[in-house]
């Protein structure tokens, strides 16, 4: 790891640590610390790559420039991504976590229009004026979202920040469009598209949502156009959109439908407009629905459009872009589509063509942005051919070059990619990337300039000079699909592109797997011929509990408010605590509370250790002597050091396997349960002993140092605050200018036998404490305890037992068992309730006998000893011996008490 040169690096912020402060107050520290990290260049990978460097590259899933961060962002950015980035950086990898924002097309335009409406009439603005206003607002919003990202603590390289509408990024999008056009992947055609009456634009299939709604299903009779033999059945269709009857150009039946087969080719009259249309046969018709006859309206229905294409039917557009019925609509002309529906029903009824109406619950398409019910319209539009692009992207995942976590999402990816449809890429709005296509007004030629060429002014075909640029802009996702390579300088072969492409991980919510992830894979493979990242980590949605959040707190659903109140560390921690990969999660008040308390615990551990060091003026950490080989260390010290190494190994494994929720859980278990509650308490005794104080203090410092490193990826602020202090107090420690670039602990050797003995000790301690309590021995009141069973293994730990239980311990008991003692015979000398004591022993004896029975049954079970692996059998045998011993001891104790 390149450390910034001394002298060029700004000093860390003046300490805000106040040891009189019992609780950590996050907001005081965080911005100063972040600014320092940023200014010191910790987040920028070393300028010159070292030969054979390992790298970690991750793109921030660019948030919308006009938005505020929500909990989903906080989970992704501050929870998973920054954790990964910081961890890889600490492992010495050249780490690039690249920030940026998305111009957010339609959403941003709506936001700004709303703002503008407060002060002026947008309608009076020209396109250029409006875009000028858009840019003004961009400059207003952008710093706001960047500030929020900094508040989360994300270790982003701000020297490489990008915005999708930056001029150079616009140029890159233009190049991409031109290349794709020349490669034949883009085409313009009259097709049916989703039109939004509110937003006045088209949108893609992905932006179409479905809601369940109940409408009236109208049964309408279409009279025969010609005289038919007596007994010919009436043609009746069922529709929820009777206003579109006027645009019908056929009636379709299923080719195998016995009721209608023989009438295919005959003609009926479309009600209201009296148009003769044919009865056609098409597989798309469901014979079980309604009467089995379908009105075909190619101009206003997706399925019908496709049927129309297959049968060469004419297309009638009777509804215009505002939702009004046009002159094609006959007697419905001029009405809005909703009013037209009512009117159509009335007319049909009057004419005796309406047979009946019944309610039907069905799916209705709506626009995801404004929830307006879609209006399918046939328009001339730009599309991208996707089938060919999807193929290599499918292969990349299938052959494992890209792996998706969690794995089951791969199935969903394949399903979508294998049925991919062409992408409607144009939007009829003003804010976005313009389409580099000009239309010659004289000869209708489509003019697309060459790559790198200026806007065309002359038609290459007719030499006319009246060229008009396509007024539409590109779908927002069109540019974000290019993000992993355009941010690195593509199409130029920049050093950044060579060094940082392909990236490593793409982390985002599973809800944009298709919108973004799949398209990045396709475009990366298309433009660079290489995957954009090798791992896709998909997180779930965060819900914020209703019942438990919010009463005493303000708007706690906002991550920014939460950070301001509880700190980014606590929020980050709470968001990933107890969550498994890809699962939706709930951020509850309880989780947040636990996170705050853990941060506070860390703070107070730090306070205790630092005070200890100050008091002892303990400034020499012998860095050349690894602590586990230090003969001055007592068993408690060697135990916590061994546990520290075990934990380092475990946490490394968990992060490597993307098990972040478990990483946080294991971290808490160690820091709180083992370091604070067990070792710290034991150390208090050692610190009072002049012979052992030095070793204890050094152990505290060493373990704190490890703990801060291990916790840094999830709690960057509090850990670095403490580390800076610790290293100031311990100048010779293995330190670094900041934890951000400090080394992640490599696990060293552990002492498994000692850990086992300590586990037994903890058991003994718990039993004694329990007995003291049930026997009514007051805390602080001395008691004497005799240990029975095979105590040889924990004899050396007697001082620890005495310390932790405030009891005098004598070791009785015996020889024999090779196993670590778990049975304990306890005699409390103080006065206690004999009856209660006996009841307890009886209860324990019952439990012990039950366990003994289970062990015996398991070992006696046919096949077990023969078929189970010998390690399992041995384990069971050892357990049986222990249980026998325990039962025997308890029986003895019971006899003695009685």
Partner RNA sequence: GGGCUGUUGGCUCAGCUGGUUAGAGCGCUGCGUUCACAUCGCAGAGGUCGCUGGUUCGAAUCCAGCACAGCCCACCA
| Residue 439 near residue 470, CB atoms below 8 Å | yes
Between 86 and 254, whose beta carbon lies closer to RNA? 254
Query: What span, in angstroms and rounded, lies between the C-alpha atoms of 252 and 287?
Result: 10
Smallest distance, RNA to C-beta of residue 350, A = 22
In total, the chain counts a number of residues equal to 898
Closest listed residue to residue 640, CA positions, set 729, 701, 713, 716:
701
Between 153 and 661, whose beta carbon lies closer to RNA? 661
Two tokens, residue 709 = 């490193």
Closest listed residue to residue 740, CA positions, set 723, 762, 728:
723
Between 530 and 847, whose beta carbon lies closer to RNA? 847
Residues 6+ apart with CB under 8 A from 656: none
Between 465 and 657, whose beta carbon lies closer to RNA? 657
Query: What span, in angstroms and rounded, lies between the C-alpha atoms of 831 and 828?
Result: 8
Closest listed residue to residue 621, CA positions, set 712, 697, 682:
697
Smallest distance, RNA to C-beta of residue 603, A = 8
SS3 at position 316: coil
Smallest distance, RNA to C-beta of residue 590, A = 3
Q: Which residue bears the tokens 């709604």?
A: 213
Smallest distance, RNA to C-beta of residue 242, A = 9
Closest listed residue to residue 59, CA positions, set 580, 527, 524:
524
| Residue 328 near residue 317, CB atoms below 8 Å | yes
Smallest distance, RNA to C-beta of residue 826, A = 13
Smallest distance, RNA to C-beta of residue 363, A = 4
Between 507 and 885, whose beta carbon lies closer to RNA? 885
Smallest distance, RNA to C-beta of residue 401, A = 22
Smallest distance, RNA to C-beta of residue 701, A = 14
Smallest distance, RNA to C-beta of residue 560, A = 20
Between 391 and 854, whose beta carbon lies closer to RNA? 854
Give the sign of the dihedral formed by CA 83, CA 544, CA 109, CA 205: positive
Between 469 and 586, whose beta carbon lies closer to RNA? 586
Q: Which stretch of DSSP H or E encloses residue 271?
A: none
DSSP string, 618-671: -----TTS-GGG-TT--HHHHHHHHHHHHHHHHHHHHHHTT-HHHHHHHHHIII
| Residue 151 near residue 35, CB atoms below 8 Å | no
Residue 833 vs residues 696, 815, 836, 839: alpha-carbon distances, Å: 39, 31, 5, 10
Smallest distance, RNA to C-beta of residue 596, A = 4
Pairing, β 783-787 against β 807-811: parallel
Query: What span, in angstroms and rounded, lies between the C-alpha atoms of 293 and 281?
Result: 10
Query: What span, in angstroms and rounded, lies between the C-alpha atoms of 197 and 367?
Result: 10
Q: Tell me the β-bridge partners of 377.
A: 193
Between 253 and 473, whose beta carbon lies closer to RNA? 253
| Residue 668 near residue 573, CB atoms below 8 Å | no
Between 164 and 297, whose beta carbon lies closer to RNA? 297
Between 435 and 655, whose beta carbon lies closer to RNA? 655
What would the 3-class secondary structure string for 375-429 be? EEEEEEEEEECCHHHHHHHHHHHHCCCCEEECCHHHHHHHHHHHCCCCEECEECC
Query: What span, in angstroms and rounded, lies between the C-alpha atoms of 208 and 449?
Result: 33
Between 133 and 566, whose beta carbon lies closer to RNA? 566
Between 456 and 582, whose beta carbon lies closer to RNA? 582
Query: What span, in angstroms and rounded, lies between the C-alpha atoms of 788 and 811?
Result: 7
Smallest distance, RNA to C-beta of residue 547, A = 7
Pairing, β 438-440 against β 467-469: antiparallel
Between 160 and 706, whose beta carbon lies closer to RNA? 706
Q: Could you count the other beta carbons within 10 Å of the beta carbon of residue 112?
A: 22
Smallest distance, RNA to C-beta of residue 791, A = 17
Smallest distance, RNA to C-beta of residue 759, A = 8
Two tokens, residue 719 = 């850990």
Rg (CA), the chain: 37
Smallest distance, RNA to C-beta of residue 70, A = 16
Closest listed residue to residue 80, CA positions, set 508, 709, 513, 711:
508
Smallest distance, RNA to C-beta of residue 779, A = 4
Between 142 and 600, whose beta carbon lies closer to RNA? 600
Q: DSSP label at 779?
A: T
Task: Give the burial class of 863: count Cβ atoms within 10 A of its Cβ; 0-12 exposed, 13-18 middle, 19 or more buried.
Answer: exposed
Q: Which residue bears the tokens 């396509």?
A: 470
Query: What span, in angstroms and rounded, lies between the C-alpha atoms of 265 and 311?
Result: 12
3-state helix, strand, coil in the chain (%, to 5): 45, 15, 35
Between 131 and 859, whose beta carbon lies closer to RNA? 859
Between 134 and 682, whose beta carbon lies closer to RNA? 682
Query: What span, in angstroms and rounded, lies between the C-alpha atoms of 288 and 290?
Result: 6
Between 623 and 770, whose beta carbon lies closer to RNA? 770
Smallest distance, RNA to C-beta of residue 210, A = 4
Between 243 and 335, whose beta carbon lies closer to RNA? 243
Query: What span, in angstroms and rounded, lies between the C-alpha atoms of 342 and 319?
Result: 15
Smallest distance, RNA to C-beta of residue 43, A = 29
Smallest distance, RNA to C-beta of residue 641, A = 18
């Amino acid at each position: 790891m390149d450390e910034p040169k001394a002298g060029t690096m700004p000093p860390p912020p003046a300490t805000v640590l106040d040891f009189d402060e019992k609780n950590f107050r996050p907001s005081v520290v965080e911005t100063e610390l972040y600014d320092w990290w940023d200014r010191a260049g910790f987040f920028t990978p070393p300028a010159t790559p070292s030969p054979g460097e390992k790298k970690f590259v991750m793109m921030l899933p660019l948030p919308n420039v006009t938005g505020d961060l929500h909990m989903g962002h906080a989970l992704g950015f501050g929870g998973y991504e920054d954790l990964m980035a910081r961890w890889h950086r600490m492992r010495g990898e050249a780490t690039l976590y690249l920030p940026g924002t998305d111009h957010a097309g339609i959403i941003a335009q709506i936001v700004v229009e709303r703002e503008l409406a407060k002060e002026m009439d947008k309608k009076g603005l020209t396109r250029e004026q409006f875009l000028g206003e858009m840019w003004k607002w961009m400059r207003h919003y952008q710093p706001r979202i960047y500030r929020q990202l900094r508040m989360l603590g994300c270790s982003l390289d701000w020297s490489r920040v990008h915005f999708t509408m930056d001029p150079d990024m616009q140029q890159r999008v233009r190049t991409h469009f031109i290349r794709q056009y020349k490669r034949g992947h883009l085409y313009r055609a009259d097709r049916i598209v989703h039109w939004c009456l509110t937003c006045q634009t088209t949108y893609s299939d992905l932006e179409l949502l479905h809601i369940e709604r109940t409408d009236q299903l109208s049964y309408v009779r279409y009279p025969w156009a010609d005289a038919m033999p007596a007994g010919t059945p009436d043609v009746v269709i069922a529709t929820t959109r009777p206003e579109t009857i006027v645009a019908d150009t056929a009636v379709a039946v299923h080719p195998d439908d016995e009721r209608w087969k023989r009438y295919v080719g005959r003609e009926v009259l479309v009600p209201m407009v009296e148009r003769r249309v044919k009865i056609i046969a098409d597989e798309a018709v469901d014979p079980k629905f309604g009467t089995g006859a379908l009105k075909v309206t190619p101009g206003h229905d997706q399925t019908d459009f496709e049927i129309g294409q297959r049968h060469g039917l004419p297309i009638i557009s009777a509804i215009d872009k505002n939702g009004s019925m046009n002159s094609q609509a006959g007697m419905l002309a001029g009405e809005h589509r909703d009013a037209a529906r009512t009117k159509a029903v009335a007319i049909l009824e009057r004419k005796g063509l309406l047979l009946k109406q019944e309610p039907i619950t069905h799916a209705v398409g709506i626009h995801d942005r404004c929830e307006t019910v879609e209006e399918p319209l046939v328009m001339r539009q730009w599309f991208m051919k996707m089938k060919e692009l999807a193929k290599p992207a499918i292969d990349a995942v299938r052959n494992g070059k890209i792996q998706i976590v969690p794995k089951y999402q791969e199935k969903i990816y394949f399903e979508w990619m294998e049925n991919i449809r062409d992408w409607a890429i144009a939007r009829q709005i003003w804010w976005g990337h313009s389409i580099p296509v000009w239309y010659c007004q004289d000869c209708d030629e489509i003019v697309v300039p060459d790559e790198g060429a200026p806007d065309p002014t002359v038609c290459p075909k007719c030499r006319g000079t009246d060229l008009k640029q396509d007024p539409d802009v590109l779908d927002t996702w069109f540019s974000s699909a290019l993000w992993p390579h355009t941010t690195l300088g593509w199409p130029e072969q920049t050093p950044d592109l060579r060094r940082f492409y392909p990236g490593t991980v793409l982390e985002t919510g599973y809800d944009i797997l298709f919108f973004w992830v799949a398209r990045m894979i396709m475009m990366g493979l298309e433009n660079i011929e290489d995957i954009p990242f090798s791992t896709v980590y998909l997180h779930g949605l965060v819900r914020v509990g209703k019942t438990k959040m919010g009463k005493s707190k303000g708007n706690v659903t906002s991550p920014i408010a939460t950070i301001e109140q509880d700190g980014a560390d606590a929020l980050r921690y709470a968001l990933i605590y107890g969550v498994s990969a890809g699962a939706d999660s709930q951020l509850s008040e309880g989780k947040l509370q636990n996170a705050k308390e853990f941060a506070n615990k860390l703070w107070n551990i730090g306070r205790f250790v630092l005070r200890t060091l100050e008091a002892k003026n303990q400034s020499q950490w012998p860095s050349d002597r690894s602590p586990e080989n230090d003969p001055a260390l007592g068993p408690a010290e060697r135990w916590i050091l061994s546990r520290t190494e075990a934990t380092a190994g475990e946490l490394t494994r968990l992060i490597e396997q993307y098990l972040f929720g478990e990483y946080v859980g294991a971290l808490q278990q160690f820091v709180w349960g083992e370091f604070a509650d067990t070792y710290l308490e034991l150390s208090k005794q050692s610190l009072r002993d002049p012979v052992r104080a030095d070793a204890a203090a050094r152990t505290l410092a060493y373990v704190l140092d490890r703990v801060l490193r291990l916790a840094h990826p999830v709690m960057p602020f509090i850990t670095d605050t403490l580390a800076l202090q610790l290293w100031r107090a311990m100048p010779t420690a293995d330190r670094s200018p900041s934890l951000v670039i400090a080394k992640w602990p490599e696990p060293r050797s552990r002492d498994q036998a000692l850990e086992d003995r300590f586990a037994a000790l903890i058991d003994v301690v718990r039993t004694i404490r329990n007995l003291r309590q049930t026997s009514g021995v007051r805390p602080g009141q001395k008691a004497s305890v005799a240990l029975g069973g095979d105590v040889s293994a924990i004899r050396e730990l007697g001082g620890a037992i005495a310390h932790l239980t405030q009891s005098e311990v004598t070791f009785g008991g015996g020889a024999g068992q090779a196993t670590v003692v778990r049975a304990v015979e306890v005699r409390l000398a103080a006065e206690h309730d004999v009856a209660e004591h006996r009841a307890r022993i009886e209860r324990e004896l019952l439990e012990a006998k039950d366990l003994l029975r289970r062990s015996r049954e398991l070992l006696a079970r046919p096949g077990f000893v023969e078929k189970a692996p010998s390690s399992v059998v041995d384990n069971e045998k050892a357990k049986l011996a222990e249980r026998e011993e325990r039962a025997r001891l308890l029986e003895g104790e019971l006899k003695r008490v009685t």
